[in-house]
């Protein structure tokens, strides 16, 4: 790490310009191409978005499947090129060879050509799935959003077996990442295939896992410390402006946020450069222990490396041609100044745009479960006492047609018995003891739950859980209970099954319906639903705008992070389904009462640093 840091420090100008150029190319070229390919794939399958419900249709359509493969290949090759530029710069600097963009471009083109063919699929699986899931990306900005949805992990961790499986999977993925971390370096510095690079990295990293972990941990610790210190200074400046001269606060906030953006760009670029150079050094050390690879050098074997004067020929190839022309430097400064001025203006506008009203509803997910079992009367009463706007509950049909409030179709997790809801009668279910967090209760009927909700004057968000063995008029029975207790005007009914949502709209127009979506990419089309309940990791401000433009509301589930709660409230999200309703109420109140820009800036900084 010390060797890598010293190399980057001596050549920081080269690395800064390179990382900025790579990120600009990703945003301006690769991302639009990926978005175009996704839209084309969706259009070919007759879809507007990729969700968990449409995934099978999309993946089984031949044209759409090929377009998705092309998208993954484009993203993976772009990641390799992004890392490859830094790797090749690192190897040339290590060998003190002259840098020349054209030569590096030729080497990248040669590697890209070697990827053509079936082995490209192997590299896509490595770069587009394994590395992002393991979290050891090095400058792979394009694939950083690839992750296991948080709700899946949270559901797995609710049981001992699920927790063990989740932990085992995480350890396996991390270990594979550690052992294969040198794959890009091997590909870029040798003439081997992808499979050979995988095997070579596996051999070279034997016994080096702790060392690799140390490299990443050290690099990102430095990043956190530097950015943390900057955040403290920025927030101090805005708080000072709030206290001394409030009218200047928006400008100060916009200016300091722009400084933070530039700092994140610079610091993260240098960190990525140091990490890449460290891996280059590690690969050079490890290859001395084995000679089974046709390693390349930046100069012919046996030749004497070039020793250019510092800052002369080695960096000359990286200076834009127009910069050496008369007025070229002045032009560069003017362009940079214009970009910063636009950024400051936009950021100042964002800081000013504080919502006058806070209307986000707080929805207690399966009730309040701090001192109660989920989906029970105790959890309902706790939610009402807390002051939640809604309580969310799950309704299933028993073997005899009765309606009960329970989430899992099998009672193993919540009651410790291996029986399914659809094979038990209402009496058997309501006589079953459920346990959670050291608390016990019994499963309530839907009638009992709604009766108590009406007494407590708390609105309900009813999720229809389909187990596939429903009989009679399941939907009609649910609505009838709501009507009987006078809750149909305030209640909301949601389902993952869009066909079920449409059925409710056809038969019971007075019911507010919602479509539950666990994963979403593309344009949001709520259809006939009155609201969309979206898993929070798929949220973007654009989706919120699309929902509102279609006349629908947007709810997010299952939100637990306080910073995320504040951001969603500030954005105007219509509801938060959360297992921490007390925290959500506190954050909503804080946003409503906050008259300074310091907290808003803190949230924006959290979002900025969190992405990197």
pLDDT in tens, 309-333: 444 334 444 444 444 455 556 776 7
**CA atoms lying within 13 Å on the CB side of residue 546:** 17
> In whole angstroms, what is the distance from residue 206 CA to residue 592 CA?
55
The predicted-structure confidence for 411-443, as pLDDT tens digits, reads as follows: 999 999 999 999 999 999 999 999 998 999 999
- Phi, psi of 376, deg, nearest 5: -115, 170
CB 274 within 8 A of CB 93: no
CA distances from 531 to 411, 487, 517, 554 (A): 30, 18, 11, 6
CB 585 within 8 A of CB 386: yes
Please report the pLDDT score of residue 134 as a whole number: 67
Residues written for the chain: 612
CB 61 within 8 A of CB 45: yes
3-state secondary structure of 37: helix
Please report the pLDDT score of residue 321 as a whole number: 47
> In whole angstroms, what is the distance from residue 545 CA to residue 551 CA?
10
Can you tell me the mean pLDDT for 598-603? 78
Pick from 507, 506, 498: nearest CA to 525 = 498
Who's near 424: CB < 8 A, 6+ residues apart? Answer: 398, 399, 432
Measured N-to-C along each axis, helices 12-25 and 62-94 cross at an angle, to the nearest 10 degrees, of: 170
Rounded to the nearest angstrom, the gap between the alpha carbon of residue 94 and the centroid of all alpha carbons in its chain is 35
> Which residue has 């290949």 as its token pair?
73
3-state secondary structure of 368: coil
The predicted-structure confidence for 71-80, as pLDDT tens digits, reads as follows: 888 888 888 8
CB 53 within 8 A of CB 500: no
The predicted-structure confidence for 111-121, as pLDDT tens digits, reads as follows: 888 888 888 88
> In whole angstroms, what is the distance from residue 610 CA to residue 516 CA?
26
CA distances from 347 to 5, 244, 259, 297, 602 (A): 33, 21, 11, 46, 13
Please report the pLDDT score of residue 319 as a whole number: 45
Please report the pLDDT score of residue 575 as a whole number: 98
Give the β-pairing of 49-51 and 439-442. unpaired
Instruction: Note every long-range contact of 104-107, with CB atoms under 8 Å and residues 24 or more positions apart, other chains counting.
Output: 107/188
Determine how many CB atoms are found less than 10 A away from the CB of residue 387. Answer: 12
CB 223 within 8 A of CB 268: yes
Return the percentage of the chain with pLDDT > 70, whole number.
87
Task: Tell me the two tokens of residue 589.
Answer: 């109140």
Q: Is there a cis peptide before residue 558, judged by omega within 30 degrees of 0?
A: yes
Measured N-to-C along each axis, helices 12-25 and 249-287 cross at an angle, to the nearest 10 degrees, of: 110
The predicted-structure confidence for 139-184, as pLDDT tens digits, reads as follows: 555 455 555 566 666 666 667 777 888 888 888 988 998 999 999 9
3-state secondary structure of 435: strand
Please report the pLDDT score of residue 76 as a whole number: 86
Can you tell me the mean pLDDT for 283-303? 57
Helices (H), 317-425: 328-352, 377-386, 412-415
Most confident region among 82-91, 354-363, 448-457 by mean pLDDT: 448-457
**pLDDT of 268 strictly over 50:** yes
Please report the pLDDT score of residue 323 as a whole number: 45
| Cα angle 239-221-30, degrees, rounded to a multiple of 5 | 90
Who's near 39: CB < 8 A, 6+ residues apart? Answer: 522
User: Positive or negative, the Cα torsion across 596, 599, 601, 603?
Assistant: negative
Task: Tell me the two tokens of residue 235.
Answer: 């927030």
**pLDDT of 612 strictly over 70:** no
Beta bridge partners of 394: 463
What average pLDDT is seen over the chain?
85
Please report the pLDDT score of residue 478 as a whole number: 97
């Amino acid at each position: 790490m010390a060797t890598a840091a010293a190399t980057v420090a001596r050549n920081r100008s080269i690395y800064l310009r390179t990382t900025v150029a790579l990120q600009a190319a990703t945003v301006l070229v690769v991302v639009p191409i990926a978005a175009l390919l996704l839209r084309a794939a969706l259009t070919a399958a007759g879809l507007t978005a990729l969700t968990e419900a449409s995934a099978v249709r999309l993946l089984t359509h031949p044209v759409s499947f090929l377009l998705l493969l092309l998208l993954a290949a484009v993203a993976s090759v772009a990641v390799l090129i992004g890392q490859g530029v830094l790797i090749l710069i690192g190897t040339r600097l290590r060998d003190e060879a002259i840098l020349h963009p054209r030569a590096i471009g030729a080497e990248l083109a040669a590697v890209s050509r070697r990827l053509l063919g079936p082995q490209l699929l192997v590299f896509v699986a490595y770069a587009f799935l394994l590395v992002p899931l393991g979290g050891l990306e090095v400058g792979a900005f394009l694939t950083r959003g690839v992750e296991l949805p948080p709700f899946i992990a949270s559901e797995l961790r609710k049981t001992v077996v699920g927790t063990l499986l989740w932990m085992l999977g995480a350890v396996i993925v991390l270990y594979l990442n550690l052992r294969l971390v040198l794959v890009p370096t091997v590909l870029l510095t040798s003439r081997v295939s992808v499979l050979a690079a995988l095997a070579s990295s596996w051999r070279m990293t034997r016994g080096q896992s702790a060392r690799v972990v140390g490299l990443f941990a050290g690099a990102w610790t430095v990043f956190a410390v530097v950015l943390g210190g900057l955040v403290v200074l920025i927030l101090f400046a805005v708080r000072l402006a709030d206290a001394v001269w409030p009218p200047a606060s928006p400008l100060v906030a916009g200016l300091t946020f722009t400084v933070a953006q530039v700092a994140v760009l610079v610091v993260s670029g240098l960190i990525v450069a140091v990490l890449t150079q460290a891996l280059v050094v590690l690969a050079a050390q490890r290859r001395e222990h084995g000679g089974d690879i046709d390693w390349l050098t930046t100069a012919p074997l046996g030749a004497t490396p070039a020793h250019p004067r510092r800052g002369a020929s080695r960096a000359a190839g990286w200076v834009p041609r127009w910069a050496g022309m008369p007025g070229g430097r002045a032009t560069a400064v003017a362009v940079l100044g214009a970009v910063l001025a636009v950024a400051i203006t936009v950021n100042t506008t964002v800081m000013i745009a504080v919502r006058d009203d806070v209307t986000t509803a707080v929805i207690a997910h399966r009730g309040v479960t701090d001192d109660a079992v989920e989906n029970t009367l105790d959890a309902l009463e706790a939610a009402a006492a807390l002051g939640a706007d809604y309580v969310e509950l799950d309704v299933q049909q028993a073997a005899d047609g009765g309606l009960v409030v329970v989430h899992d179709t099998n009672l193993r997790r919540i009651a410790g018995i291996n029986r399914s809801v659809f094979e038990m009668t209402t009496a058997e279910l309501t006589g079953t003891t459920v346990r959670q967090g050291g608390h016990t209760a019994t499963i309530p009927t839907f009638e009992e739950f709604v009766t108590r909700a009406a007494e407590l004057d708390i609105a309900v968000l009813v999720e229809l859980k389909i187990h596939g063995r429903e009989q009679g008029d399941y939907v009609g029975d649910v609505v009838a209970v709501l009507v009987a207790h006078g809750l149909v005007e305030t209640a909301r009914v949601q389902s993952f099954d869009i066909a079920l949502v449409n059925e409710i709209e056809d038969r019971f127009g007075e019911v507010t319906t919602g479509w539950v979506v666990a994963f979403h990419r593309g344009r949001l089309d709520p259809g006939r639903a009155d609201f969309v309940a979206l898993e929070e990791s798929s949220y973007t401000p654009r989706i919120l705008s699309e929902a509102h433009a279609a006349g629908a509301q947007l709810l997010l589930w299952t939100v637990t992070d306080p910073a995320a709660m504040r951001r969603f409230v500030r954005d105007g999200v219509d509801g938060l389904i959360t297992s921490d309703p007390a925290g959500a109420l506190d954050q909503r109140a804080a946003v409503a009462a906050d008259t300074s820009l310091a907290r808003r800036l803190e949230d924006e900084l959290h979002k900025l640093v969190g992405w990197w």
